[in-house]
Structure 1
Amino acid sequence: MRAWAGLMRSLAIYYNPLRRRQLRSFYADLLEPGDLCFDIGAHVGSRARAMRAAGARVVAFEPQEPFAGFLRRSLPRDIVLEEMAVGPAEAEARMAVSSLHPTVSSLSTSFAAEAADAPGFGHVRWDRSQQVRMTTMDAQIARHGLPDFVKIDVEGFELDVLSGLGQPVPMLSVEYLPAFRNRTIAVIDRLEDLGPYRFNPVTGEAGGFLWDDWRSADEARAWLSALPANGGSGDLYARLD
């Protein structure tokens, strides 16, 4: 029952009509019709649907129940659903699950422990776990093709996802949390190893980029380092230069 309560809570949050309009408008400006997109950590599918509305071909990755089951029943048939996690290797993995706050469920073995003392996480409890299948970005690129855009929202597991990627992709985004800025900075370091990326954040649910131009990795690191630990989250976008 707690898991279903978490699902209903997420649906109420992420299918808010204003939020849906903002997402559709944002992705319509970001993507081209026919682009291939990977939605890693699809959750309730709101972003996968917005990408599809922009004319993109979408592969959604979501291992967590009951969300995978919800997506299986509700996603349009032309969105490919992969009911698995994405990480550094083809394997079985155990996810720490927060039933009432499922957006913070994580495959990172240290994220839940670190979050217990982080601003904004005091009310969250990771009360169960789930065994999930894990694939890699490289394996999915071999199966579906090189994506034009990859959205990664996996609660502290972003670097592990990128560890399974051996080539640059044109554009991607990762969620940032100011209390865990070092994890995002490590993602920037990894992307620099893959190719010449430039960066631009979207703060919260602003529906648009913070900066008028795409900036260097050093500028993105400096911006992240200056954020207050109790500041709001958002997404950091990276575009291959």
Structure 2
Amino acid sequence: MFETLRTARAVLRSLRVYYGHRERHTAMDQLYGAFVRSGDLVFDVGAHVGDRVGAFRRLGAKVVAVEPQPALALTLSAIYGRDRLVAIERKAVGRAAGEITLQVNIDNPTVTTASDAFVKAADGAAGWEGQRWGKSIVVPMTTLDALIAAHGRPAFIKIDVEGFEAEALEGLTQPVTALSFEFTTIQRDVAKACIDRCAALGYMRFNAALGESQELGEWRNATDIARWLEALPHAANSGDIYARLD
């Protein structure tokens, strides 16, 4: 019971943070409006409490929200379950279909992860103080290719899966027009692997937004975005890298 209350409190905190600021919604809509048009299909992989789902829906897109963590999947169902243009997949995404163990952060569910390396990298790192992954659960896992087979080819894929982004991209063999993946400065190697995978899939242009700024910089090639990532100070902490085919 105590564990359930801790998780509920953490989810409510996330809802306040991610849904409580109109200016943030406006900035998010402007950012994703560069990639998403009304009627498009979007995959939100690692949908968490669904703030990006909200942005994609405001832009008129259909959304497949992928979230394996039970508490967050229930939250998505409560917010978007009656929206016929939102499909909720309660699965992790990786390089192959099957099952995977999630390391659950009870007090901060949005950083629950399928990556043991992510947990190790966060241990003792500046900016990650106090994070604890004290529970594990086994969840079903699918691939991006399987999601495309089930739902259709999306115009855009957003991937935010706490250090498991490179594994998710290994399950994509048919590139879509554009995608994004989260990076952290505690695991630059994972982000570099994602850049390399995108380049192998044919992505030519890359950009980035730091933290929750929702502000893109200049477009670069794969080599230059990798150099930009390597030069970031540790305090930058995290952000998202965007990749386009054209």
TM-score (norm 2): 0.93
Kindly indicate whether the alpha-carbon contact (under 8 Å) linking 1:23 and 1:50 is maintained by their aligned counterparts in 2: yes
Q: Which runs of 5 or more structure 2 residues have no equivalent in the other structure?
A: none
Query: How far off is 1:92 after superposition?
Result: 1.3
Q: 1:29 to 1:162 in 2, by over 3 A?
A: closer
Query: How far off is 1:132 after superposition?
Result: 0.9
1:34 alignment partner in structure 2: 39
Kindly indicate whether the alpha-carbon contact (under 8 Å) linking 1:97 and 1:128 is maintained by their aligned counterparts in 2: yes
**Is 1:61–2:104 an aligned residue pair?**
no
Question: Equivalent of 2:106, from 78, 96, 99?
Answer: 99
Question: Equivalent of 2:17, from 13, 19, 30?
Answer: 13
Flag as ranges the 4+ runs of structure 1 deviating above 6 A: none
**Is 1:3–2:10 an aligned residue pair?**
no
Residues 206-234 of structure 1, C-alpha deviations (whole Å, 9 max, x = no match):
222122xx210011000001011222321
Aligned pairs for 1:39-118 (under 5 A) are 39-75=44-80, 76-118=83-125
What is the alpha-carbon distance in structure 2 between the residues aligned to residue 131 and residue 4 of structure 1?
20
**Is 1:191–2:198 an aligned residue pair?**
yes
- Aligned residues: CA RMSD: 1.3
Q: Which amino acid aligns with 1:7?
A: V
The aligned length equals 239
Q: Which runs of 5 or more structure 1 residues have no equivalent in the other structure?
A: none
Give the 3-state SS of the residue equivalent to 1:147 in structure 2: coil
TM-score (norm 1): 0.95
Query: How far off is 1:50 after superposition?
Result: 0.5
What is the alpha-carbon distance in structure 1 between the residues aligned to residue 176 and residue 125 of structure 2?
32
Q: Which amino acid aligns with 1:66?
A: A
2:185 alignment partner in structure 1: 178
Residues 114-173 of structure 1, C-alpha deviations (whole Å, 9 max, x = no match):
210322112101111122111111111111111110000000000110111112111000
Q: Percent identity?
A: 45
Q: Which amino acid aligns with 2:187?
A: F
Give the 3-state SS of the residue equivalent to 1:96 in structure 2: strand
Q: Which amino acid aligns with 2:18?
A: Y
Give the 3-state SS of the residue equivalent to 2:187 in structure 1: helix
Residues 161-217 of structure 1, C-alpha deviations (whole Å, 9 max, x = no match):
011111211100011112211110110011111113210001122222122xx2100
Give the 3-state SS of the residue equivalent to 1:110 in structure 2: helix
What is the alpha-carbon distance in structure 1 between the residues aligned to residue 88 and residue 111 of structure 2?
21
